[in-house]
Amino acid sequence: MASEIEILGSRFGLFLSNKQIMDRIKLLAMRIREDYLEKFPLFLVVLKGAYPFAKDLIQAAGIPCSVSFIQLSSYEGFMSGESVQIRIPLTDSIEGREVIVVEDILESGKTLAEALPALQKQKPASLKVCTLLRKPHLLRFQVEIAYNGFDIPDAFVVGYGLDYREQGRELADIYKLTTSGST
Ligand code: IMP
Ligand code: MG
């Protein structure tokens, strides 16, 4: 794996290797497996960034479940935006289901702070959040996280599904911004 990469003129350094990510996911998956073994949970994956995480997490948990997707977006470039848009709405009913929302990263918490009450209105039996990454110092909205992979510093990260302007999602490892380009 490269120790440094460049995307659109900005430089990023290796931050979490795929091995470190997978080791942590196995721990999260073991806890989810214990908590949901007989419950046929519905993993609700927040597109686009959470897709590799969700795939690895759900396979590692290895329990009967169903999977559904929504797409929310509030992020532009390096910055969390002002309003949360629902780009792909819920297509499956979550009523009466044990729902685990699978998210890539929490920064301000705004995306989930807006989305969770809307999901709660659909009357799931339970609604929990599993996120791979969290930036604790940038959290501005109260969001309860049941499963968290890593607390990370206040830096922009890319890779393993996370993008910088729609680039970098294909990287197996996670990289952290070191030198920002012109924009
Ligand atoms: P929040 O609403 O401020 O919590 O931002 C959450 C969303 O912003 C995440 O679902 C990501 O899509 C995006 N995001 C936040 N931080 C990063 C980052 O460091 N890299 C890439 N995307 C990020
Ligand atoms: Mg996201």
Q: What is the pTM of this model?
A: 0.94
What ligand 1 atom has the least distance to the C-alpha of 112?
2
157 close to ligand 1 (CB < 6 Angstrom) = yes
Ligand 1 atom 9: residue of nearest CA: 105
Distance 79 CA to ligand 1 centre (A): 8
Write the CA distances from 2 to 17, 21, 113, 158, integer angstroms: 10, 16, 35, 13
| pLDDT per 10-residue tile (average), the chain, 183 residues | 95 98 98 97 96 98 97 70 76 96 96 93 97 95 96 96 96 96 68
What is the number of the ligand 1 atom nearest to the C-alpha of 141?
4
